[in-house]
Structure 1
Amino acid sequence: MSAFVLVSGPFTDGRIWDAVVGRLRRKGAGAYPVTLDMRPEADLETQVGDVVRLIDSLDVPRVVLVGHDYAIHPVLGAADLRPERVARVVYLDAGLPQHGDPALALVPDPEVHQLLGAGGDPGPVPPPGPRDWQRWGSTEGLTAEQLEFLSALAVAQPPRTLTQPLRLTGAAAGVPVSAVLCTAGGTTIEGIQELVRVGPPQLRKLADPRVGFFELATGHWPMLSAPRELTEVLCRAAADEGHRLTPPEGEPGFLRPFLLDVPERPRVRSGHVDLHLPEPGETDAPRPAVLFVHGGPLSPDLVPAPRDWPFYVGYARLAASLGAVGAVVEHRLHGLTAYPRAADDVTEAVALLRADPRVDPERIALWFFSGAGLLVTDWLTGPPEWLRCVALTYPILAPLPGWGAVPPRFRPAEALRAGGAEPPALLLTRAGLETPQIAATVERFLEAAAEAGAPVQIIDVPHGAHGFELHGPTDESREAVTRAMTAVLSHLGI
């Protein structure tokens, strides 16, 4: 039987695994919970050493390392130092940190980012109270008593465990991997398969046959809410079971040709904005403009960058072919905490666009895609008169479960409910096969719009999934894009 080394997430210690440890041992497996060094001066390397010492102390050939949440960082660090002793790494509702990533990048609580990003020498991060654990992940399935238990055993998290970058040499790259997804937090195997199919190339490694996936229909602390089910899944993972993702065929979806055949137009690059220009008319009068705001978060190392994807180039050329300036902004939405920076990038892009002599500064439309939907908030809070239309295509309109790191400022529905100035014309392209979590954010936004008396024109794509333009062109998807563009340009007087 396997020997499991169990490492828990922030604030907690080995006691959180008690119900799972007992079940594993009754099955004849070894189960060794780790209590990490939580002294204020401890850092990530300190806790990597804690895991390594336990591995070295065990009289077993190899172990299955299980990292829950933050603990995947010390687990990966330990596997990198002892790859020959590790049979498998299990990501238990954890992120996918890479070499050089600090754990803080995946922390969902915005207050922690404020505390550790304020400069100086920040102290330990205080543990959550019973009502605060939801800011670290879904508490679905936890009783009030279990939330009290979490708080009772919790201690402050040393700051440098979250800010010190993970150091990996690649020595454990060949170690098999399992991922256990707690679906109450919004992540599912189906959703990850879709990301692998149409997302950035670096995600293709998740379709490696050495990677197995499992789902648990519970929240972020399955060792408490579903110990029996988690025990079964861990044993199956150790036996190399689990769902395998289907490798994508051909090039990534975002590099496929645009679904409409649009003529190439002159492109002018100005800083972080590309302008696709219409044919010269009878006059040199400035033209209205549409600024396309790509989705995210995306890796800063993504090549090519979004403004060079056929997808966004196609949208901009389509606008230019119909008489508007089609512009694409390269913004820096590289993580959940980067929304303020991305919002600044969009604001700067709008200013640059309106200052361009080829653009009519009084006729501007903004078009947001996917995760950029949260960036619409600022433009609904105090919409300027020159903003004639806001378009949203399969947008995320509220932070998803586990997105607690998104600052409170980015809540589009709340901006509508706050009232104030009349919002610009609103256009929403809605995917009929949208994920339930994203669809719920859209419905809440539409409810807020109805309460605020802000009409929303909706273009439905009944058979379209999130990113439907990348899934292979259909008559339905082509018609939806054409209708959306026509509607936006009509608000610009074209």
Structure 2
Amino acid sequence: MTAFVLVSEAHTGGWVWREVAAGLRASGAEVCAATLTGMDGDRDRGRAPEADLETHIEDVLRLVDGTEAPEVVLVGHGYGIHPVAGAADRRPERIARVVHLDAGIPEDGDPPLALVPDAALRELLHGASGPDARPVPPPSRDGWQRWGSTAGLTDEALDRLTRLAAPQPPGTLTRPLRLTGAGSGLPVTGVFCTAGGTSTALAEDMVALGDPRLVRLTDPRNTFFDLGTGHWPMLSVPGELTDVLLRAAAGEGHRIPAPEQPGHLRPFPLDVPECPRERTGRVDLHLPGTGGPWPAVVFVHGGPLPAGVRPTPRDWPVFTGYARSVAELGAVGVTLDHRLHDPADYPRAAEDVAEAVALVRADPRVDGDRVALWFFSGGGLLSADWLAAPPPWLRCVAETYPVMAPLPSWGMGGSRFRPAEAVRGAGRLPVVLTRVELERPEFAVTVEEFLAAAKDCDARVEVVDVPGGHHGFEGIDRTEEARLAVRRAVRSVTGHLGG
């Protein structure tokens, strides 16, 4: 028999698992749905200020020690993964599997606050820490999305979530998690709630980028599932979640293979000649030859990317290939590395791009009045500043398989990095958007929102479609359609430069 210990998101308790617990018990499993210290509303309020992460780890350990089942599966949802990870580290011999339910991967020394998705909420909670900190009040009915997507929740479920939520003891969010590494070898299952913008496909991409923190995910004992709902699957799709947990306990699920040659390091689909290349700081210039001044195309890579990725994007074949392609047509191709390593880094990355553009325009070999900016993937959000108020020297903005709105799991409030809103200020600035047919759904919806907004304000958008194309198609789809799309986009962008 298997025992499931279920530990939920901040502000909630065992009640949130009611339907899932019933389904697991019906299958013959033992179930312990945890209500951690301080999380039982009015009845537990007196203990809330003293409880911290260590208290909650002890709560989970008592549940593990109290079961006689030979296999214990720990399930951590959101915040719950922190006490789960702490308990698994202290009782690895009792744990058969750890399930990360729409939850990150906490490291030794991380406070749970570090994985709260909403950046503004992280800042608010960080400011509330200290010896005199008070319990964090639960969200209002309209505030739950700051902890994760509420997609799939009925009005009744959202009302229930709000009515039963409890204040969160501040020490549970601010005390660092301490891990010895004893539980690091346990089998893991990741369950992604895709309405928040996460998925197994994205995890595979991050593994392929070489993030050393994620190499462990390729262990063949580790499995993954996608649920097409928001952050609260126990309320929105309890039956599906029950099935996934049972399958996870049985070792089922998708496995992430160890990467061979990732798509971004495969050869560029066009044969383009070498050209002179100069490096200054984080910026490389791919020059058409002698003479000039030449127009320029600045290529802005996507992200967020792990800080330790090697080679860095400006040396990836996709970007050097595009840069050489425009150099062949008489424009300076510019590749750069910006510091977008986390969704909170978008402002810093925007500064890096602006600095690179200023450096390029100041180069005497560049015609500073004829510049195009070309954004890729998650770099698409960085186009918002330029669309909202295009300077007179900006002749074109290009977007290739872009993300055109922050994903819900990124926790980005405000409207700065939202191209669908910014495009209303673009006027007659040409926009060349390369759209792949087989785009990931969480990205595709942002592109369609952008195109609808562009149509409403009569923006000049040219769409280059890639039939059968995938995200990152240049290194994945070795097809004539892929080559034609690259040629068309390159010629269109350089055409708007007047060369």
TM-score, structure 2 as length reference: 0.89
Deviations 1:436-487 (A, max 9, x none): 2222211111111122121111111011111101204322112211221111
For residues 157-172 of structure 1, what are the structure 2 equivalents within 5 Å? 157-172=168-183
Match of 1:265 in 2: 275
Q: 1:117 to 1:268 in 2, by over 3 A?
A: farther
Distance 2:491 2:173 in 1: 48
Deviations 1:387-406 (A, max 9, x none): 11100000011123433335
Match of 1:16 in 2: 16
Match of 2:79 in 1: 70
Indicate the SS of the match to 1:402. helix
Match of 1:319 in 2: 326
Q: Please, which moves more after superposition, 480-489 or 98-107? A: 98-107
Q: 1:41 to 1:111 in 2, by over 3 A?
A: farther
| Conservation of the 8 A alpha-carbon contact between 2:401 and 2:436 | yes
Letter in 2 for 1:195: D
Match of 1:328 in 2: 335
Distance 1:334 1:44 in 2: 27
Q: Post-superposition shift, 1:117?
A: 5.5
Distance 1:97 1:316 in 2: 38
Match of 1:277 in 2: 287
For residues 193-212 of structure 1, what are the structure 2 equivalents within 5 Å? 195=205, 199-200=209-210, 202=212, 203=214, 205-212=216-223
Deviations 1:236-260 (A, max 9, x none): 2212222334554x32222222222
Match of 2:420 in 1: 413
For residues 146-225 of structure 1, what are the structure 2 equivalents within 5 Å? 146-189=157-200, 191-192=201-202, 195=205, 199-200=209-210, 202=212, 203=214, 205-225=216-236
Q: Does 1:425 align with 2:425?
A: no
Aligned counterpart in structure 2 of residue 108 of structure 1, from 114, 117, 123? 117
Indicate the SS of the match to 2:142. coil
Deviations 1:64-100 (A, max 9, x none): 1001122222212221222112110111122334445
Indicate the SS of the match to 2:4. strand
Distance 1:276 1:64 in 2: 54
Letter in 2 for 1:330: D
Q: Does 1:479 align with 2:489?
A: no
Deviations 1:304-340 (A, max 9, x none): 2222222222222222233222112211211122211
Distance 1:70 1:257 in 2: 42
Match of 1:127 in 2: 138
Q: Please, which moves more after superposition, 113-122 or 64-73? A: 113-122
Aligned counterpart in structure 1 of residue 308 of structure 2, from 279, 301, 304? 301
Match of 2:45 in 1: none
Q: 1:161 to 1:493 in 2, by over 3 A?
A: farther
Q: Post-superposition shift, 1:194?
A: 5.7
| Conservation of the 8 A alpha-carbon contact between 1:193 and 1:246 | no
Q: Please, which moves more after superposition, 40-49 or 475-484? A: 40-49
Letter in 2 for 1:356: D
Match of 2:90 in 1: 81
| Conservation of the 8 A alpha-carbon contact between 1:316 and 1:326 | yes
Match of 1:310 in 2: 317
Letter in 2 for 1:17: W
Deviations 1:202-258 (A, max 9, x none): 55543432122234343321222233332232222212222334554x322222222
Distance 1:201 1:120 in 2: 31
Match of 2:265 in 1: 255
| Conservation of the 8 A alpha-carbon contact between 1:320 and 1:326 | yes
Match of 2:444 in 1: 439
Identity score, percent? 60
Q: Post-superposition shift, 1:160?
A: 4.9
Letter in 2 for 1:409: R
Indicate the SS of the match to 1:448. helix
Deviations 1:392-441 (A, max 9, x none): 00001112343333543211111123x4x625211101101112222221
Match of 1:347 in 2: 354
Q: Post-superposition shift, 1:62?
A: 4.0
| Conservation of the 8 A alpha-carbon contact between 1:48 and 1:74 | yes
Match of 1:96 in 2: 105
| Conservation of the 8 A alpha-carbon contact between 1:14 and 1:34 | yes
Indicate the SS of the match to 2:410. coil
Q: 1:323 to 1:98 in 2, by over 3 A?
A: farther
| Conservation of the 8 A alpha-carbon contact between 1:196 and 1:247 | no
Indicate the SS of the match to 1:230. helix
Q: Does 1:383 align with 2:390?
A: yes
| Conservation of the 8 A alpha-carbon contact between 1:198 and 1:470 | no
Match of 2:296 in 1: 289
Q: Post-superposition shift, 1:167?
A: 4.0
| Conservation of the 8 A alpha-carbon contact between 2:109 and 2:178 | yes
Distance 1:478 1:486 in 2: 12
| Conservation of the 8 A alpha-carbon contact between 1:339 and 1:406 | no
Q: Please, which moves more after superposition, 122-131 or 406-415? A: 122-131
| Conservation of the 8 A alpha-carbon contact between 2:5 and 2:34 | yes
Q: 1:197 to 1:468 in 2, by over 3 A?
A: farther
Match of 2:4 in 1: 4
Match of 1:231 in 2: 242
Match of 1:356 in 2: 363
Match of 1:36 in 2: 36
Distance 1:465 1:35 in 2: 44
Letter in 1 for 2:191: V
Letter in 1 for 2:370: R
Q: 1:307 to 1:171 in 2, by over 3 A?
A: farther
| Conservation of the 8 A alpha-carbon contact between 2:263 and 2:472 | no
| Conservation of the 8 A alpha-carbon contact between 1:279 and 1:321 | no
Indicate the SS of the match to 1:364. strand
Structure 2: unaligned runs, 5 residues or longer:
39-47
Distance 1:48 1:356 in 2: 58
Letter in 2 for 1:7: V
Letter in 2 for 1:9: E
Match of 1:449 in 2: 454
Indicate the SS of the match to 2:409. coil
Structure 1: unaligned runs, 5 residues or longer:
none
Distance 1:251 1:479 in 2: 24
TM-score, structure 1 as length reference: 0.90
Indicate the SS of the match to 1:424. coil
Q: 1:196 to 1:329 in 2, by over 3 A?
A: closer
Distance 1:355 1:117 in 2: 41
Distance 1:9 1:431 in 2: 36
